Structure 1
Amino acid sequence: MDQKQVRQRIEEIIDNNAIGILSTVENNKPYARYMTFLNKDKTMYTPTSRETYKVEEIDKNSNVHVLLGYQGEGFGDEYVEVTGTASIRDDKELIEDLWTDELDNWFDGKDDPKLIFLEIKPEYVRLMNGRGEPPHSLDL
């Protein structure tokens, strides 16, 4: 599989799988949780409250790992691994751009002071579990 095919498949998986797993590190131990991800300009974003443990963890160690795409079908069920760094974004322009009405389930509108987005800049991306294929790394 060439880089163009790898990139295309990774983008398809990321665009079609909004729910994934975000892992952070605290005291040299991993912590994982399901999150909703948005992809914009090769950067991933996930909404959260500034009052969560993950925000404290990212403040101390910005290294994160994301898994997206596995559907539980077994052999050949592709997924994407993203290793990167996360930063906390609370600027109104970004919140306005990424806001969806679905977020009303967790926040009191776009102006909720708890609402932030974690911005994840990928450093390493791999396409995993292709039927009969080894993992493919994307050149960033």
Structure 2
Amino acid sequence: MSQAELKQQILKVLDESKVGTLATVKNNKPHSRYMTFSHDELTLYTPTSNETHKTDEIEDNPNVHILLGYEGEGYGDTFVEIEGRASVEDSAHYKEKLWNDHMKRWFEGPDDPNYIVLKIQPTAIRLMNDEEDSPQSLEL
């Protein structure tokens, strides 16, 4: 598979998978949690509160690991592994871009000062369990 085809397969998984795991490092150990993700090309975004442990963990160590796409249907499910560097974004641009009514459970609105967005720039992406040779790494 060419790099262009591989990128399209990865984008397809990102389009179809909105919930995945985000792992940060806490006290030199991995700490994972489920998050909702959106993306712009290969850059990922996820909403959260600035009062969570993950924001402190990212400020201490911005390296993160994300799994998206596995649907639990069987051993052959295609998914992506993403290694990246996360940053905390609190600009109105990112907050409005991700805002939806489901978030009213946690935040008053897109201007809530506790509402922030994590932006993840990938440093490595692998397509896993694709029908061709797996894993396949996208050159970034």
Instruction: Tell me which residue corresponds to 2:131.
Output: 131
Q: Secondary structure at the match of 1:122?
A: strand
4+ long deviations beyond 4 Å: none
Q: Would you say the 8 A contact 1:125–1:138 is kept in 2?
A: yes
Segments of 5+ residues of structure 2 without an aligned counterpart are: none
Q: Would you say the 8 A contact 2:11–2:41 is kept in 1?
A: no
Q: In the aligned structure 2, how far is the partner of 1:24 from the partner of 1:56?
A: 10
Q: What is the number of residues matched between the two proteins? A: 140
TM-score, normalised via structure 2 length: 0.95
Q: Would you say the 8 A contact 1:77–1:131 is kept in 2?
A: no
Instruction: Tell me which residue corresponds to 1:103.
Output: 103
Segments of 5+ residues of structure 1 without an aligned counterpart are: none
Shift of 1:51: 0.3
Identity %: 50
Cα distance per residue 1:78-129 (max 9 Å; x no partner): 0000000000000112212221222112211111111000000001000001
Q: In the aligned structure 1, how far is the partner of 2:8 from the partner of 2:91?
A: 30
Shift of 1:26: 1.2
TM-score, normalised via structure 1 length: 0.95
User: In 2 relative to 1, CA 69–131 (structure 1 residues): closer, same or farther, beyond 3 Å?
Assistant: same
Instruction: Tell me which residue corresponds to 1:119.
Output: 119
